[in-house]
Structure 1
């Protein structure tokens, strides 16, 4: 009798704890307290995105990151890669009911994002969360490599706890000679690849794509065409970022304007 009473009381306390957490934390933060979700996989996440794109249920897509994601200033008034993605999704793929939210903030690091997850991501109840970070983390060692890795893992875990699909990006290469405070960026890119592999997340590897292009056409040419300063992509650079995302998600179509096709539709 006493043992049954102890078990009953323990069960009551656990339920009370879950209820208390639910009352003071956002729903996504307590999801694994009540449900114990299993980690996803990159292949499975690509299948989930394909299902989202082919289904009738509307979804919210959140883009988080720093000034590159924000698209501040350096696009010369043209679209940033999240805006190009929105055009591909909501017009060309006819998912007009979907919502694309860009919460990229200039100067921010993984630490900023972790401290602001509910505002920048959780409040939107996303189906997919895209995160590109690292260019500021590496600046003057604002975030150490060890902390950067831990932060990225936590970001992925929290996105999955929201029942959303995480997408990690490597940032584009920079002109290190003109931004020496960020010369360690390649080390942070290596960590992003490591975390994506360990956490089995979708990875859009812009660094690899840009470096391949630079091997084919010289770094000077690519930087001149795709960067607006030593760090930030211009409008053409953002088109490259968008194209890499489309190819990773298997939604690239060269005939479509957002993928490089013609916008002109005839005489008028």
Structure 2
């Protein structure tokens, strides 16, 4: 993450691109409220006054890694990004017509990372919000963790920064998880605020006096405290 933090210390404008599926697309399930990319835009170009930065969201609902590779030229290459946030896997892991088998998913991650590297962009990998436990969406619940681990493995393999939302959310209370979801696998506006808090924290841009940081802090996901013996 140091390369990204160094970019933020420079006055050189940055083009940020968010790439993924419906969770990053951030429509409908936020009920007209802001998604995490919107909060990032407000923090970077508003509160931090990096007015020449560009924040792009080319995520599309219903997508898998296959789509991200097939549509890369239009949705990434032509945008000339400096930094790409990649959050994908919720549809890949679905045990239905969307499924991308786990070995293929890992290979597709390698392909996307290599494409980003050839483009000269920095990649930040992200895991996503866990599926609500309890059998609400077994298509995804039973395979979700394996796909998130593949993302962690890719980060380690390619020496890339990772923002591990899934790990944090799974350490929190079930009530906190439910309160931040629109349905079994889409976050609501509060869930997007929780994403925002971890992203800001990892990038070192969480500022107690900023309105976006305060809102994100209000809905931040916190590990469930363990009882003392």
Query: When the two structures are superposed, what TM-score results if normalisation uses the length of structure 2?
Result: 0.89
Equivalent position SS for 1:166: strand
Structure 2 residue 109 is matched with structure 1 residue 155: no
CA distance in 1, matches of 2:165, 2:120: 26
Match of 2:125 in 1: 168
CA distance in 2, matches of 1:199, 1:213: 29
Choose the corresponding residue for 1:180, options 135, 138, 151. Answer: 138
**Shift in Å, 1:223:** 2.9
CA distance in 1, matches of 2:200, 2:160: 16
Structure label with greater radius of gyration: 1
Note the residue ranges of structure 2 that are not aligned, 5 or more in a row: 217-229
Equivalent position SS for 2:171: helix
Equivalent position SS for 2:126: strand
Query: When the two structures are superposed, what TM-score results if normalisation uses the length of structure 1?
Result: 0.76
**Shift in Å, 1:52:** 2.0
Choose the corresponding residue for 1:121, options 76, 95, 114. Answer: 76
Aligned-residue RMSD, C-alpha: 1.4
Match of 2:213 in 1: 259
Q: 1:73 to 1:261 in 2, by over 3 A?
A: closer
Note the residue ranges of structure 1 that are not aligned, 5 or more in a row: 1-45, 263-268
Match of 1:21 in 2: none
Structure 2 residue 3 is matched with structure 1 residue 74: no
Choose the corresponding residue for 2:199, options 230, 245, 255. Answer: 245
| Per-residue CA distance 1:191-233 (angstroms, 9 max, x = gap) | 111111111111000001111222xxxx1x1233100111111
Aligned residue pairs, count: 212
